[in-house]
Structure 1
Amino acid sequence: MKTATKILFTLICLFIFQFTAFAQKQEVLLIGTFHFANPNLDAVQTIDFNILGDQSQKELENITNQIKKFNPDQIFVEWPATDQEKLDSLYQMYVNGNYQSYIKEKYQHTKQFASYNEDETFQLAFRAGKKTGLGKIYGIDYQMSLPFDTVMKAIESAKQTDLMNDISLFLKISTDEANLQRKTLGVTEIILNMNTPEFRAKNAGFYLQTINKAGSKESFAGAYSVSEWYRRNLYMYSLVQKLTKSTDKRIVILLGAGHAAMIKQFIALENKFKIVELKDLLK
């Protein structure tokens, strides 16, 4: 009887420990998005989307209102980590209400104006941060050169015609789908579509399914390119790990959808955060 009691007590303690460990997990709202300012620096070239239109602005207000209810302790964005001081300055101007006058005076007649005026960092993250009362938005991007041209040359040199066709087809289908959504859907629906398990798996899988195979048996140009992509995202996630305090209950990570697809995998493997999806906040 005593042995049975001890076993039961041990099982209860184990259950309580596991339940407590789960309950104490910090929550992360992971949002993958398209680049509102559309710099067309990615392989998928898309048409412009009117993020400044009345309907888009209304939807951004709704999204950020829900993020406010989520009440994050920190927000991380795709901004160079090495340029945090500038991000701090811009955010303080935004909070103080003189951001628009500043960018109009400094950038209105430059190519940079669209980015400062339309980018998701300012349209979404700054708006959510101000509503939540955050004093700082953190940039976690670690930019590096991805040798895509080298990969294409390696494919051509190895006469990997089928692989080249697979890459071209993937890019064409992705471009067509993205452009159709930009023509027919609002910003909320587009973002939600970019955060489905299917979209993330397709996005993250592309590199292993195609790019990783580029080059002859003696060339690892493709694998090197994929490793650089992983490295960039690992560096970004490393900053999330380092900057998230033990006292933070909830954080937001807002990145391009390709990065978010990778970060989702890292979060799952680390098993520290409980992922919250934007669709759940918008119900």
Structure 2
Amino acid sequence: MRKITTILTSTLVLVINSLSYAHEKQITHDQEIQPAQVMLFGVFHFHNPGLDSVKSEVINVLTPKNQDYLEKLTSKLANENPTHVLIECPPKRQKIIDRQFSSYTNGNYKLNVNENQQLGFRIAAKAGLQGVICYDERNVHWKGAELRDFMDKNTPERKKAHDQLIKKSGQDTSQLHNTLSLSQLLRLNNNPSEERDNMNFYIMENDIGAGQEFIGADAAASWWHRNFRMYANIQAQAQPGTKVIAIGGSGHTAILKTLLEVDKSRHAWDVNEYL
């Protein structure tokens, strides 16, 4: 009888240990398949060379006050332990970016005014990452110039209204940059209402040439096409268990956020609570 009891006890211990091991293994497995967290950080171009359709003045991010803000902001984001920091630059520049980042972390490089370095380099360095990753895509040609030429010839009144809206937008943006703080401007760039207005710029002439050339739809599609490719580059890095920060112009992130919203394999990580 005692022998049977010992056998039963030993068997029970083995079963409990097996269940415990299986439970621990399941927890580990669940941790491994956690969806990636992706922060899409929309910004204005800190150094504005005037290449965008909307022409505007921008705030000087190099003032002591703004530099102090950027130091604090990037520290808060770095403290969240991101695994990847992506910046809006073409992959063909990756080697150049790598050299600049290495020099920066070694104390031999002064940051340029652009947001890729003022934000991206700082966050990655403070988080202890080996570098930043270029995720832009410029091989898709945006057909904005073709659309404007078509409107000049075929819908001059629409072209006039378009030009007036673009001009007013530039003036309004300049006014905001002359009156708001850097923090307020970045919050504005990531405001859902502003993001909808931003996307509208690329679709408000979608009907031009409808039923014939479809030049309006083709121009809008070419812009979305570029952003779909940029999102693919983000997806390639945002694998299970990662925390990704992707910094880009708000014209891109407005669209990228709509793609992230329907991406069941990744969770949105909101930047607004840090701004």
Show CA shifts across 1:87-146 (max 9, x none).
11111111111112xxxxxxxxxxxxxxx7200011111011111111120000111432
Pick aligned residue for 1:96 from 95, 100, 106: 106
Task: Report the equivalent of 1:224.
Answer: 218
More off after superposition, 152-161 vs 122-131: 152-161
CA gap of 1:48–1:197, structure 2 versus 1, over 3 A, is closer
Q: CA deviation at 1:214?
A: 2.6
Pick aligned residue for 2:147 from 142, 145, 151: 151
Aligned length: 244
Alignment of 1:31-50 (within 5 A): 31-50=41-60
1-side partners of 2:72 and 2:147: how far apart?
A: 42
1-side partners of 2:60 and 2:90: how far apart?
A: 25
User: TM-score normalised to the size of structure 1?
Assistant: 0.80
Task: Report the equivalent of 2:259.
Answer: 266
Identity between Structure 1 and Structure 2 (%) = 27
Letter of the structure 2 residue corresponding to residue 234 of structure 1: F
Q: Secondary structure at the match of 2:118?
A: helix
Q: CA deviation at 1:176?
A: 2.1
Q: CA deviation at 1:160?
A: 4.8
Show CA shifts across 1:31-89 (max 9, x none).
10001011111001111421111111011012101101221100111011122111111
Letter of the structure 2 residue corresponding to residue 67 of structure 1: L
Pick aligned residue for 1:190 from 182, 185, 192: 185
Letter of the structure 2 residue corresponding to residue 224 of structure 1: D
1-side partners of 2:202 and 2:130: how far apart?
A: 37
CA gap of 1:205–1:272, structure 2 versus 1, over 3 A, is farther
CA gap of 1:169–1:273, structure 2 versus 1, over 3 A, is farther
Give yes or no for contact 1:157–1:215 (8 Å, CA) kept in 2. no
Show CA shifts across 1:228-280 (max 9, x none).
111111111111111233231x1101000000001001101212222222221
1:73 paired with 2:83, answer yes
2-side partners of 1:217 and 1:241: how far apart?
A: 35
Letter of the structure 1 residue corresponding to residue 130 of structure 2: G
Letter of the structure 2 residue corresponding to residue 260 of structure 1: T
Alignment of 1:233-252 (within 5 A): 233-248=227-242, 250-252=243-245
More off after superposition, 53-62 vs 213-222: 213-222
2-side partners of 1:278 and 1:269: how far apart?
A: 18
Give yes or no for contact 2:75–2:123 (8 Å, CA) kept in 1. yes
2-side partners of 1:131 and 1:177: how far apart?
A: 35
More off after superposition, 71-80 vs 23-32: 23-32
Letter of the structure 1 residue corresponding to residue 209 of structure 2: G
Unmatched runs of 5 consecutive residues or more in structure 2: 1-29
Unmatched runs of 5 consecutive residues or more in structure 1: 1-19, 101-115
Alignment of 1:19-34 (within 5 A): 24-34=34-44
Letter of the structure 2 residue corresponding to residue 186 of structure 1: S
Q: Secondary structure at the match of 1:63?
A: helix
More off after superposition, 252-261 vs 239-248: 239-248
2-side partners of 1:27 and 1:47: how far apart?
A: 34
- Give the structure with the larger helix fraction: 1
Alignment of 1:96-175 (within 5 A): 96-100=106-110, 117-144=112-139, 145-161=141-157, 163-175=158-170
Q: Secondary structure at the match of 1:118?
A: coil
User: TM-score normalised to the size of structure 2?
Assistant: 0.83
Task: Report the equivalent of 2:250.
Answer: 257
Letter of the structure 2 residue corresponding to residue 275 of structure 1: A
Give yes or no for contact 1:158–1:215 (8 Å, CA) kept in 2. no
Bigger Rg, structure 1 or 2: 2
